[in-house]
Amino acid sequence: MSIIKAKDLVHEYIRRDEDGNVKMIQTAINHVDMDIEEGSFVAVLGHNGSGKSTFAKHINVLLSPTEGTVWVDGKDTSNPLFTYPIRRTAGMVFQNPDNQIIASVVEEDVGFGPENIGVPTDEIWTRVEESLKSVGMIKYRTHSPNKLSGGQKQRVAIAGVMAMEPKCIILDEPTAMLDPNGRKEVLAAVHELNKKKGVTVILITHYMEEVVDCDRVFVMDSGKLVMQGTPKEVFSKVEELKEHRLDVPQITLLAHELKEAGLDIPEGILTREELVEALCRLS
């Protein structure tokens, strides 16, 4: 079953002058169809300005379609009656962890969301504990978020979303401001949520290495969905990815170049182990 479905989605940003006349129309999403399976871990890739964040905002009803329809868990996002149920189903994590932390103690920060939607106090504490455990931050529950590293803050932000018990979590370039260690921590935490709790994960990123372990990859360019498939399928098309101004993981590129140079190895190699295996098979 699909948890997110977009049908012929178009989004136009319209700028007006002081008199209300249309000054400029920017088509950020251009007739996109997308289907995301419940329980899957998917990545949305694309160069800057390709429409990724605009798409994410539709899933969270921060925007509504200019044309077409988006359904979250079967609910049409353009129906105002569904706005709050949808926001509880689909939680968002943004790029900058500093903008998402509001309380001065970690556990209060995580409890803020559920408190806001009227979850009873006992239950809030259970959820806070569960969520902090699931992102590996329970031992920091009484710490001040300000003193944490970027990766730790981002994991607290993810715990805050988890405490709302969403079926689906959308992360819009959550690791862009983190160092490599922080990136690994956050990615591991999100994979864990997907595997252990069955939470659907939509990861928006431009780090190719983060995409290798996903179930499905969607590539956007200039508002269009231009490629989709498993990481292996998508990364087999190195030249097409380059046309969309995307790099491929280093190992995949190396394998591609070895193939171009005449070695008999397959396209779409994603890991060092796979490359070693393919090279060993050559002799």
> What residues line the site for Mg ion (CB under 5 A)?
52-53
> Cβ distance 204 to 53 under 8 Å?
yes
CB of 225 to ligand ADP, least distance (A): 12
CB nearer to Mg ion: give 45 or 161: 45
By CB under 6 A, tell whether 175 contacts ligand ADP.
no
CA-to-CA distance for 150 and 277, rounded, in angstroms? 37
CB of 97 to Mg ion, least distance (A): 16
By CB under 6 A, tell whether 50 contacts ligand ADP.
yes
- The partner residues of 236 in beta bridges, in order of sequence, read none
CB of 46 to Mg ion, least distance (A): 9
CB of 208 to Mg ion, least distance (A): 16
CA-to-CA distance for 222 and 283, rounded, in angstroms? 44
CB nearer to ligand ADP: give 45 or 128: 45
84, interface contact from Mg ion, ligand ADP, none, CB < 5-8 Å by kind: none
Tell me the window of 42-50, 69-77, 162-170, 270-278 that interacts with ligand ADP (CB under 6 A): 42-50
- The partner residues of 93 in beta bridges, in order of sequence, read 171
Q: How far is CA 63 from CA 10, 36, 53, 190, 214, in A?
A: 11, 19, 11, 25, 26
Q: Which of 19, 20, 48, 261 touches ligand ADP by CB under 6 A?
A: 48
Where in 6-35 is the site for ligand ADP (CB under 6 A)? Answer: 13, 26, 28
Beta strands (DSSP E) in 105-241 are 168-172, 200-205, 216-221, 224-229
CA-to-CA distance for 211 and 195, rounded, in angstroms? 16
